[in-house]
Amino acid sequence: MKFATWNVNSVRLRQNLIADWLERHDPDVLMMQEIKCETAAFPADFFIERGYASAVVGQKSYNGVATLVKGDRTEIVTDHLPGFDNPAARYVEIRTQGLVFGNLYLPNGNSGGEEGYATKLAFFEALTARAEHYLREETDFIFAGDYNVCPAAGDCAPGALAPDDALVRPQTRAAFRRLIWLGLTDALRALHPTETLYTFWDYQAGAWQRNSGIRIDHALLSPRVAERLVSVFPDKDERAMERPSDHVPLLVTLRDKTEG
DNA sequence: ATGACCTTCCGTGAAGGA
């Protein structure tokens, strides 16, 4: 089973790029963030023609998440993160393959002053509660998306972010650790504990050419899912494409349940 | 170097991104 998370930075602008990537990698599930369109404007038919049903939570201009699932139908479990009292389109949850897939786009936290930053922490609090809920009832889950968190020093190229950026603030990293410490596995670090691997390179200042990247897109796995982990990598090649997103897909492969 | 880049919108610059 293969799944991926990808902040696509406008799904309409990049639908062909996404379709090409789907054809090459053939994931069962693709969780997209920053689709930047209303739900009704999402190119659902385009993806149906390519073998994927979609679960879409959009809004005008900003944010927006959508999960593609191989097949002709899928159903939304929730179109918002329970306990996060905010209308922004930042969370969609589905079930498929015996798993819950939470697709999330965490607030950046650099805009809106301390209130904007507090919104980021509030999202984390609600996400942590959601994880606790599923752990308690022993439901296997994957929470993947754009966390807007650089978990550790090695996840940030020197100078790529200011020391007080909301992506690296101590409180931000602590919130991420609290979530992990419930017993979740950061898929990438489980298999690549020290390798320098990024998922985002700014469009500005030749960040890509200088490899001035950061790792902010993550897939967190509940315990039984983590045991099935086979491979995980950020598909860096995608950043070198024509008119790319500033994020690349993070692709994860799991063993089938029956393979033990 | 207060720089740079990209996307959206009843847009023609501003806001948000990270």
Mean pLDDT of A215-242: 97
Identify the band that residue A157 occupies on the pLDDT scale cut at 50, 70 and 90: very high
Residue with tokens 């390798």: A195
In this complex, the residue with its CA at the shortest distance from the C1' of nucleotide B17 is A108
CB of A34 lies under 7 Å from some atom of strand B: yes
Separation of alpha carbons A239 and A199, rounded Å: 9
Separation of alpha carbons A6 and A239, rounded Å: 12
Nucleotide nearest to A206 (CA to C1'): B4
C-alpha radius of gyration, chain A, whole number: 17
Pairing type for strands A99-105 and A141-146 reads: parallel
Q: Give this prediction's pTM.
A: 0.96
At A242 the pLDDT is 93
CB of A9 lies under 7 Å from some atom of strand B: yes
In this complex, the residue with its CA at the shortest distance from the C1' of nucleotide B1 is A205
At A258 the pLDDT is 67
At A259 the pLDDT is 54
Angstrom distance, A229 CA to B9 C1': 42
Going A47 to A221 to A63 to A167, the CA torsion angle's sign is negative
Angstrom distance, A42 CA to B18 C1': 25
Residue with tokens 């995608």: A238
Angstrom distance, A111 CA to B14 C1': 15
Separation of alpha carbons A46 and A49, rounded Å: 5
Separation of alpha carbons A34 and A257, rounded Å: 32
pLDDT beyond 90 at A36: yes
Domains along chain A? 2-250 (3.60.10.10)
The pLDDT tens digits of the residues spanning A165-190 come to 999 999 999 999 999 999 999 999 99
- Mean pLDDT score of chain A, rounded to an integer? 96
Angstrom distance, A113 CA to B16 C1': 13
E-assigned strands of chain A? 2-7, 29-33, 52-57, 65-70, 76-78, 91-96, 99-105, 141-146, 185-186, 200-201, 213-214, 217-221, 229-234, 250-254
Token code pair at residue A257: 């349940």
